[in-house]
Structure formats: C-alpha cells, structure tokens
A and B are shown apart, each in its own frame.
Chain A
Amino acid sequence: MHTHIETDGQVMTVYLEGELDHHNAPAVREKIDEFAVGFHPTHTILDFGGVTFMDSSGIGLVMGRYKLLVQLSCTLEIRNLSTHAYKVMRLAGLDKIAALSRAEKKEAQNHETQQ
C-alpha cells in the first residue's frame, strides 16, 4: 500500500494506492495522522482512486481519521471511490461524516479489473 500526501494552501490531499485491509491500514493511519497533526489542515481529501481492494479496515481508517480531524476543526472528503468501496462506506453510514464521491464510471471499472 502506497500513501502520498500533497498540500495546497491548508488543504491536505492523501492519495492511497493498493489494497486497504487490516494488514496495510496501520501504516496508512500513522502517515496521515503524523502529517495532519503537524500541518493542521482545514480540509482533508482522501483520494481512493488507486485503491484496488477495501474491506471494513477502510471504514475504520475513515472513522478514525474523522475523529482526529474534527479535533483539528478540519472537514473530510473522500474522492474517487470504486463502486465497491462506495458500497462498503455507505453500509457503514460514512456519508454522514464525510462527503463521498465515486470515480468516473470508466475509471472505477478500470481500477477494479486491475485486481
């Protein structure tokens, strides 16, 4: 799993790539938290465009980051979700704590066939 962070003003964008499961989630969490605490973003975007698999560890990752970001008065947005990742997040009601958006259909299919 690869995590890449970019900033624009006080907006922090986290690009996630690979398979997000219980094995990979801790390293992603540490990287995001360490950066967010030092940077104090006002808005955070988690870009799931490169995520090829996600189970409930992805839900835990989003919920945990939400709790931290709320303390920093930062809003959360989740972009480029595959159809599957979107389904998992909706199941957990994450649309109530973050703005969720799906990838363009063609792109989403492309990511899923890479599995």
Chain B
Amino acid sequence: MKPSNEMRLQLESRSVNEGYARVAVAAFAAALDPTLEEVNDIKTAVSEAVTNCIVHAYPNEVGKIYIRVRLFEQGTMEIQIHDRGCGIADIRKAREPLFTTLGGDRAGLGFSVMESFCDKVRVRSTVGKGTTVTLVKSIRGRDATLEP
C-alpha cells in the first residue's frame, strides 16, 4: 500500500531529544485528526521506543536514531524507529513484561506500553547491527468519536 504522506527524522541518542521526538511524530499525525487520547497513545509509544534506543541500543555512546512515519488512507499510521546500536539477542525475552537488563528505576514495561497503546508492534534486530521497531496504529479520529 502506498502511503499518502511520509516524514523522516534523524536524531542523536541524547535523552533531551525524547520530548522532541514524540512531539514531532504526534504533530505529523495531526493530519489524521486524532483524538486527545490517540495523541497521548502515539506520544507514549514513541517515547518508549526512543528511550530504548538511548538506554539500550547505545549504552555508552551517542548514536543516531532514525524515525520514519508514514500515513495511509483510512487513517492508519506506521512509525518506524531504527538504530544502529548493539541489537537485541533475545527479542521474546526483551518484550516480556517487567523484564529489564538494567536495574534502578527501569520498570521493564517499555514494550508492554507500546503494545497496549498501538495495534501492532514489530521488532527486528540483529546483534551488533541494530534494531527496528515498527509501531502501527489506526487513528479513528475525532469525527468517528463524535458519532452516536
């Protein structure tokens, strides 16, 4: 399926960029007229994926994070967050709720949050090469919620 609109964004893996990344993606999605709840869902899922790049993919260096957002007819959006970091050895384990390789205040719920706020979450990763997380969400929009 051909996207009706597309944008790309490249960021350095600095935590200060988390806010910008989620706001930029949410702003691009504005064309689909999302509800406030949908905007929050998008922002939160993007925030989780970008945080993963910063914390896990590039733990001891500043690398690049590549974001591609595509909008499709009927209000589906696809957000791809890609890094060229360390990769994930066991994706299934990484996606398990409460699993985290880091201590401190990491809840281990990043993927759980992405999954509950999006319709589909795909993860592709190669150790030493990088990871691509694809989030798919269909936006019902404000019009749909106004109907009786």
Contacts and interface: CB of A to CB of B under 8 A. Distances in A.
A61 B112 CA distance: 17
Contact of A84 (B40, B55, B107): B40
A56 B48 contact: yes
B44 interface: yes
Interface residues of A, number: 25
Interface of B: 15-16, 18-19, 22, 36-37, 39-40, 43-44, 47-48, 51, 54-55, 104-107, 109-110, 112-113, 116
A36 interface: no
A101 interface: no
Contact of B105 (A19, A61, A112): A61
Interface string A99-115: 00000000001001101
A96 interface: no
B15 A23 contact: yes
A21 B105 contact: no
A109 B40 CA distance: 12
Interface in A75-115: 83-84, 88, 91-92, 109, 112-113, 115
Closest 10 CB pairs of A and B: A60-B105, A23-B15, A64-B105, A55-B47, A60-B107, A84-B40, A59-B107, A22-B51, A56-B109, A55-B44
B44 A112 contact: no
Interface in A56-75: 56-57, 59-61, 63-64
A91 B51 contact: no
